[in-house]
Every structure is written in C-alpha cells, then in structure tokens.
Amino acid sequence: MEVAISGSHGLIGTALIAALAERGDTVRRIVRSNAGPGEIAWDIEAQTIDATALEGIDAVVHLAGESIGEKRWSDAQKRRILESRTKGTTLLARALGQLDRKPAVLVSASGVGYYGDRGEEVLTEESPPGEGFTAEVCRQWEASTQPAADAGIRVAMTRSGVVLSKEGGAFTRLLTPFRLGVGGRMGSGRQWMSWITIHDEVGALLHLIDTDIAGPVNLTAPSPVRNAELSKTLGRVLRRPALVPIPKLGPSLIFGRELVEELLFWSQRVMPARLEASGYRFREPDLEHALRSVLA
C-alpha cells in the first residue's frame, strides 16, 4: 500500500511512518518546501499542491497543523492555529477529490477539544460539539474534509486525546515537574482527562486505514481518568512525590488564561465507542500499564 502523510515529522507522523515501513507499506511525505525524491510538495498559504504526485495513492493521513499549546494565544496565534488546519485540510481534500485515481481513504486529524468542557458527561462520537476556541477549531477542521467526502472518498476524523509518549508532544512538558519532584494535580484535580498511548494512537490510525470506518472516531483509551488520578499514578510510576497542587493562576501568568483553561482544566470524559465497536483492541487500556510502557 502507498500512503501519503502530512505532518510526517511530528510525534505521531514519525511513529506512524515507522509502523507503516515495518509492515511493508510505501510512505510519501507531503512537505512544505524542498520536496525530495518520493515526496509531495504543497504550499498552504499559496494554496498549491502537486496533485499529479497524489495520483494512485492508496491512503492519505493528514496530521499537519500549527502546534496548539506551545505559544500564548494572541489573536494572531489563534488565527494561525485555525487557518493552518482549515486551509491545509481544504487544499488537500479538494486536490484529492479532483484526482482521476482517488485514494480509498483520507484519515484527517482532529481532537477531543471538539467537545469543549463537559464536566461529568460521558462523551461519544454522537455527542454534540462544545463551546470555546479549541471546540470551534476542531469543528471547522473536520468540516474542511467535506470536498473529499463529496468526491466519494472515505473520510475518518480522529478526535485524539492527550498522546502519552516520552518522545515529544504535550505530555513531555507535563513530565518535567514530576521528574523534579514538584508535580501534582491541576487545581481540584476532578476534571476528566482522555488519553491514549503513542502505540495505540498509531495502531488506531492503521486500523482506520485498513477498515471501512468513516466519520468522527475518538482516539482515546477506554479508561479516562481524573487529573488527580493521573498525577498520583504518574508520581508512583516515576517514584516521585505528587503532592503539590498547581493552581490555575501560575500557568495562566505564563501561557495565558484561555489556553490554560482549555488545555489543562477542561473536563472531557471521552470514550472510544466507534473504535471499540469496529473491533480495535487496545494494547494499553490501563493508565499505569500505559505509563510504564511509554516511559520504559
């Protein structure tokens, strides 16, 4: 199988490419500049892409987008976050829809931010979108895949939770205070956190490529936990104390209130209903086993 991937140098893209290569698939990277042999060039701002290089591709996995949590959310940064997703997805979806030899599937990234802050509510793919900046980003991001679906391409949107990996991503920033012995719950710690290991994130992506699932799919482990439980378990795995609660004010002074509220204090109790119904079996469904696996 020949698979094209955008965002191929990120945490998930790197791991996915390794898994595809291991099973014998051919990978074509979609890159923004200086495309080399076997790579596919695109320019999101100019809205150009080498469509001829996409002809005959079997599957496309779209992971590209401005990092959502690395910079304070100024108006300009929020615009970059949104447009890097909507413009890139629209460009790719339209190009795929116009091909003579279309791919069988487009797997396009999204996130559990789609659901907003939902307290104790159990969330599945049938749950309506929430409110807030990340919820609106995810809603528009997913809507941008429509040109591909209209052209008859199977489209799956992956609403991923926090990806547990020591190789990068948001989780590595959480690890630092725990390793220094000053980690702890965020605020009350009662907010639900939906997570998935990098191994299951990649396994689920391969599953979506290979099966016939279309529409939104929650990529989260079947055992979401409260933030306090995550902190306690992480401290135990690292053999560090996890006793220092982190008030909202401290991170807000550094990253801004809105970013901290949505990424650290929102409660999202998300279940992978469609993934499990399709037969996917999680490699690491339990938090402590998952943490020990990814931190080994």
Q: Render 198-211 in DSSP notation, one character per residue.
A: HHHHHHHHHHHHHS
Res 189: pLDDT: 95
Beta strands 122-123; 269-270: pairing state: parallel
Could you tell me if residue 254 is inside a domain?
Answer: no
Could you tell me if residue 241 is inside a domain?
Answer: no
The pTM for the full model equals 0.96
Structural domain of 217: 2-164+194-222+269-284
Distance CA(84)–CA(43), nearest Å, equals 11
Residues 204-254: pLDDT tens digits? 999 999 999 999 999 999 999 999 999 999 999 999 988 888 888 878 888
Could you tell me if residue 179 is inside a domain?
Answer: no
Could you tell me if residue 237 is inside a domain?
Answer: no
Arithmetic mean of pLDDT, 49-70: 95
Residues 151-161: pLDDT tens digits? 999 999 999 99
Give me the chain's average pLDDT, please: 95
Distance CA(40)–CA(95), nearest Å, equals 12
Residue 165 amino acid letter: S
CATH number for the domain including 198?
3.40.50.720
Arithmetic mean of pLDDT, 190-210: 98
Residue 145's nearest CA partner among 11, 18, 6 is 6
Could you tell me if residue 238 is inside a domain?
Answer: no
Res 54: pLDDT: 97
Above 80 in pLDDT, residue 75?
yes
Above 90 in pLDDT, residue 120?
yes
Can you tell me which residue has the tokens 């940064």?
77
Res 64: pLDDT: 96
* 3-class DSSP assignment, residue 155: strand
Query: Could you say which DSSP state residue 261 is in?
Result: I
Residues 162-175: pLDDT tens digits? 999 999 888 888 88
Could you tell me if residue 29 is inside a domain?
Answer: yes
Residue 1 amino acid letter: M
Residue 196's nearest CA partner among 280, 258, 107, 95 is 280
Could you tell me if residue 150 is inside a domain?
Answer: yes
For 56-89, what is the HEC assignment?
A: CCCEEEECCCCCCCCCCCCHHHHHHHHHHHHHHH
Domains of the chain: total: 1
Res 246: pLDDT: 87
Proportion of the chain above pLDDT 90, given as a percent: 86
Res 233: pLDDT: 96
Could you tell me if residue 7 is inside a domain?
Answer: yes
